[in-house]
Structure formats: structure tokens, C-alpha cells
Amino acid sequence: MKTYSQADVMQLGTVDISNRWAKAFLKIVNSYPYVALKVRIPYGVVRRTKIICSDILRISDWKVDIDEIVKLLLEEFVNYVSKTNDPRDAYSRLKSITSNIQIYIDNKMTEHKQLPGYYNEDFKVVTISLERDVVLRVEYLLADMECIYPNHPYTVEIVLTHLLCDFVKQVQTQGKNVLRELISLLNEEADDE
């Protein structure tokens, strides 16, 4: 079975183990409500997101970090996908913010999914803590997409990277309108708690 994230929440929920120590370990792992994922994000996006976080603090007194912004973006994506319930739409939405580039390594051409504007940039690994249920929903969405688009390149980590890069691009082009929307989402989330 293909894995759709480093945490592989979908697989961990279905593993049948006869060894009692392994069962106990799996039960403990599955009892944690959050999973940590290591996400590769272009340095420019990380730096820009930190500036966005300080802008949000200045405008609204909300102290946020990359982790919280990524969580909000993923929640919005999951909510959107839940409403449409269409893996094709989710795939085309993800595809619209990615493009193929060809890289030559040791005289062999390999094709990578990359983000427009970040071809030559170094990446920083950022650890993002997400609710297990949200990661599971995205993994199942990616599994559904696999039925329609075999061997698609997406994992939860790639989705997170693309969502954040797209968000930064929107902030760069639409400015304060996007920040106001994000602050509105933060206020809604605070009201729900």
C-alpha cells in the first residue's frame, strides 16, 4: 500500500499485529491526537511567512507562527474538499499551483514537481504538528486521487508546501485583503474554542 505522509496514519489504523508488544506500541502511537510532519519549504517562503506573521501581530495582536498558518490553510483546503467531495477538483486545484521542471543530475534527467518561482531555491525543513484526524482525511483524499490519477506525486507534506507557497504568493499579489481573511479565520477559530 502506498503511503501518503511520513506519519502514515491511514496504514497505522489498519495494521494487524499479533505481537503483543508491537500492539501495545501501536496503541500508544495511535492514541496521540497529533502527528508531527517534516515539511520542506523554500527558504524564501519561510522568511516571507515570518514577515507575514509579524504583520498579523502588528495588525491584530494575534501571535501566529508558520505552524498555525499551515494548519489554517490545510483546514480550509480540507473544508473545501469536503464540500465539493470531488478528488478531481482537489487534484486540479493542487496541480494549478505546481509545475514540472527538469533537473539533470549525473547526466540523467529527472522530472520534479516544483513550485513556480522557487526552482533554484534551497529548502528548509519545518516540523508541523497536525491533528491526526486531519492528516488521515488528507491521506484518504490522496488515496482517492490515486484511483483516478495513478502515481500522482502528492503527499500530505507536498500539499502543505504547495498551500503555504500559494498563500505567500497571494499575500504578495493581494496584500492586506489576504491578511484580513486570515485574521478573520483566526477570530473564527478562537470563537469556536
Domain ranges of the chain: 9-192
Q: Is the pLDDT of residue 127 over 60?
A: yes
Q: Is the pLDDT of residue 163 over 50?
A: yes
Mean pLDDT of 34-41: 91
Q: Is the pLDDT of residue 152 over 50?
A: yes
Share of the chain above pLDDT 70, in %: 77
Give the per-residue pLDDT at 121: 60
Of the segments 30-34, 100-104, 108-112, 156-160, which one has the largest average pLDDT value? 156-160
Mean pLDDT of 56-76: 91
Tell me the β-bridge partners of 36: 129
Q: Which triple of cell numbers denotes residue 178?
A: 489576504
pTM score, two decimals? 0.80
Give the per-residue pLDDT at 170: 86
Residues written for the chain: 193
* Cβ contacts of 74 within 8 Å, gap of 6 or more: 130, 134, 138, 159, 160, 163
Mean pLDDT of 175-188: 84
